[in-house]
Structure 1
Amino acid sequence: MKHSDINMVTGYLGTYSSPLSEGIYRFTLNKDTGILSGPELFYRLPDCKYLSLYNNLLAAPVKSGDEAGMSLLDIGGGEPSLASKIYEEETTACFVTQDGDFIYSANYHQGIVLIYKKTDGGLILYKRIDIAPGAGCHQILFHEHYMLVPCLLKDEIRIFDRSRDYCPAGSIFFQSGTGPRHGIFTKDHRYLFVVSELSNELYVYRVESGIRMTMLSVTPLLTQEQTKQSLQSPASAAIRFSPDERHLYVSTRFTEIISVFQVQEGQVQLIQQTGSGGIHPRDFVLTENGAYLLAVNRTEGGLVCFPVDPDSGMIGPECSRIPAPEAVSIVLNEA
């Protein structure tokens, strides 16, 4: 699969282990037409359910027997080369992010955050932060010199001070049964938006200073009728901004929808709810120009590309789709 055309974008899918999936898959998107091509198996890696791409280094969880940990692939040459692999976990992490020096993983089942350091000799374990078994650690966010960890099953976001060796620095608390899953800061870090998996709500906070925040609003993502009609308890998942941050997008599984919000100075207004094109939309991304939204449906429907009106933020009818069994994470390489 060659990608020399300047109108083509390469993307990668992380998957759950299953007879239908073998690891990381690669696909392409035509930025002019919205047509998807592929996928092809890019690298065999069991249970690589979240991906992080940074400067041609692709990080993903890995599992081998009773061990789990982190893998780092160099994809700078177009094809994957294993840069390092390390086993320090019992179950695979559900979230991974990285910067130039470190890889950070949130482990839902073990209730831990692990920080791996990139060295010339490979990955080494730099720091282990034990929160609580079964805490449901689901993401890692950074704000100034703080690290925030949404703990879905503890109904709080734990905060750690990176300038003080990651010592505890406080929490953002939620009502029992809320299940904060993922959050996103505006680029200027004046506002924090948090989506809850269990209560299916959108929380908006204004950042006052440091980690002091004021909650501005709580907006239900679903009506009572939508919840009643769902065959399983609805579970909101991913949250993303449009490139200009005028619109916010949230996926909800088991109602199989993507909600679109208009955003202005921390105020949100629901303007659209549309189908994800399949079943179990755990993740999605928008292209850098905001022209397309790509939704990953784990159970049925595969990877679906939708056009987006950059001005209104509204999602249009699908452009194309490709198979993506058990895919639950997506990254685009638009560099």
Structure 2
Amino acid sequence: MNNTLTGFLGTYASPDSLGIYRFTIDLRNGAMSYPELYYEAPDCKYLSLKDAMLASPLKREARSGICLLDTAHNKENASVPLVGEYFDESSPACYVAQDERYIYTANYHEGAILIYEIKHEANFHGHEKCPARRYLEPVKKILIAPKAGCHQILFHSHYMMVPCLLLDKVMVFDRHMDFALVSELAFPTGTGPRHGIFDKDHTQLFLVSELSNQVFVYGLTEATASGADSSSISLPDFTMRLMQIYPLFPSDAVYKESPASAAIRLSPDQRFLYVSTRFAEVITVFRIHQGHLEQIQQTGCGGVHPRDMVLTPDGRYLLVANRTQGGLVSFQINPETGQLMEICSRVPAPEAVSIVLSPHTN
């Protein structure tokens, strides 16, 4: 049995980073291969992988949009099966998400969500029908506000949640109502909500703020008759209430540059939470016990400017993309405590921002 996983890196455009890179990690020891260029396209900074379809923003000269790649047919050859490139955005998006029907992009600077529908067109070769060809068609653009700082797209039931970092809000849209805006979750000015993650049962949401460096914990229940305040959401299907707020750093901590938290990840067993913070150059580890967080470790990220992180499916390794120095590193995780141990492997990854792992071993 082969114990390696394939991973992909999204990068900012630079002379040293040309697009999307591919690498492998050995699940027996955390060793990673040197990333190799998989698809050349500038500013492929965020990746989404679902059912072997890899989606990413990109920019070509004055045009910005999204590219879609089919990774299922590219394991043994060097050519990349491009499904298509689509240019319908004013600048490259900072986040991409997929579901069964659509691909969504969140555009930080434009303050908009663009929705592409995944289409299937049957191909005919003579009298033989070939597999359907997939392509994307832009179907809707949701303009939230110029420079809203739209930074992520989260799904809960048929709702779409969009953290807007520069508005200090999370906007909630109903996908069953043509993506109508149905609620807003407000934060104190200067909070900067950035990324969130649900637990497996969607009973809790953990959200990290970039500017105030806090973790907000929300509890989700079935809808109640009571009204919602500004720190909660109450809709016909569910109620989401703020339970606790956890600071990542002491209020008197001093840094040369203000820390800016980035990624938030849950361990596969749902026992631990991990947060990366730039300028402080650390990973913070929380233990989750009965819905409450306890900070148990704050340790170096293995480089400078940590962005995305991902845990291997077995929960044994945490991969961290250090954008400006240190490259891509894999940490071994103590299975009992959830704490990061030694660095197992380090490979170059200039301007790396996003990491995805294929769910299957090779």
TM-score norm. by structure 1 comes to: 0.96
Q: Secondary structure at the match of 1:215?
A: strand
Shift of 1:101: 1.9
User: What residue number does 1:65 align with?
Assistant: 61
Aligned to 1:307: 332
Give 1:212 shift. 2.2
Is the contact between residue 41 and residue 60 of structure 2 (CA under 8 Å) also seen in structure 1?
A: no
The alignment status of 1:112 with 2:112, answered yes or no, reads: yes
The aligned amino acid for 1:216 is M
Q: Is the deviation greater in 62-71 or in 285-294? A: 62-71
Q: Which one has a bigger Cα radius of gyration? A: 2
What is the letter of the counterpart of residue 53 of structure 2? L
Q: Does 1:100 align with 2:100?
A: yes
Tell me, what secondary structure is at the counterpart of 1:324?
Answer: coil
Residue 137 of structure 2: aligned partner: 124
Residues 183-224 of structure 1, C-alpha deviation per residue, up to 9 Å, x if partnerless? 111111111111000000000011133342211111100123
Deviation for aligned residue 1:232: 1.4
Equivalent residue pairs, number: 329
For residues 298-334 of structure 1, give each alpha carbon's deviation from its aligned partner in whole angstroms, at most 9, with x where no partner exists: 0000000000122211110101100000000000113
- Aligned with 2:312 (options 287, 291, 303): 287
SS in 1 for 2:15: coil
Q: What are the superposed Cα offsets for residues 137-194 of structure 1, whole Å, 9 maximum, x if unpaired?
A: 0000011111000000000000001111110111111000000000111111111111
Map of 1:8 onto structure 2: 4
What are the within-5 Å matches in structure 2 for residues 135-284 of structure 1? 135-209=148-222, 210-226=237-253, 228=254, 230-284=255-309
- Summarize the Cα distance change of 1:237–1:211 in structure 2 as closer, same or farther, 3 Å threshold: farther
Q: Contact between 1:205 and 1:266, CA under 8 Å: does it hold in 2?
A: no
Alpha-carbon distance in 2 for matches of 1:148, 1:211 = 13
2:324/2:351 contact within 8 Å kept: yes
* Mapped partners of 2:357, 2:252: distance in 1: 35
Identity of aligned residues (%): 53
Query: Which amino acid letter does the alignment assign opposite residue 178 of structure 1?
Result: T
Say which of 28, 31, 39 aligns to 1:43: 39
Runs of at least 4 residues of structure 1 off by over 2 A? Answer: 208-212
Match of 2:49 among 53, 57, 60: 53
Range with bigger deviation, 27-36 or 294-303:
27-36
Report deviation, 1:125.
0.3
- For residue 120 of structure 1, report the CA deviation from its aligned partner: 2.4
Contact 1:193 1:204 in 2 (8 A): yes
AA in 1 matched with 2:18: E
Query: Residue 166 of structure 2: SS of its match in structure 1?
Result: helix
- Match for residue 75 of structure 1? 71
Instruction: Letter of the 2:320 partner, please give it.
Output: A
1:317 is aligned to 2:342 = yes
Amino acid across the alignment from 1:288? P
Distance 2:118 2:157 in 1: 22
In 2: Cα distance, 1:254 partner to 1:157 partner:
25
2:166 and 2:200 map into 1 onto residues whose CA distance is 28
SS of 1:36's partner is coil
Cα distance in 2, alignment partners of residues 231 and 318 from structure 1: 26
* Corresponding letter in the other structure for 1:185: F
| Aligned equivalents of 1:189, 1:92: Cα separation in 2 | 30
Deviation at 1:225, TM superposition (A): 4.6
Q: Secondary structure at the match of 2:110?
A: coil
**What's the C-alpha RMSD, in Å, of the aligned pairs?**
1.1
Give the corresponding residue for 1:27: 23
CA–CA separation in structure 2 for the residues paired with 1:234 and 1:150: 19
Structure 2 gap ranges (5+): 122-134, 223-236
Please say which of residues 60-69 and 202-211 is displaced more in the overlay: 202-211
Could you tell me whether the CA contact under 8 Å between 1:238 and 1:251 is conserved in 2?
Answer: yes
What is the deviation of 1:126? 1.5
Contact 2:276 2:308 in 1 (8 A): yes
Between 93-102 and 289-298, report the one with greater CA deviation.
93-102
Q: CA deviation at 1:231?
A: 2.1
What amino acid maps onto 1:269 in structure 2? E
Give 3-state SS (helix, strand or coil) of 1:100's partner. Answer: coil
Distance 2:100 2:84 in 1: 15
Q: Give 1:99 shift.
A: 2.0
Instruction: Give the conservation status (yes or no) of the 8 Å contact 2:273–2:286.
Output: yes
Preserved contact between residue 216 and residue 266 of structure 1 (Cα < 8 Å)? no
- Partner of 2:96, secondary structure, is strand
C-alpha deviation, 1:118, in angstroms: 1.1
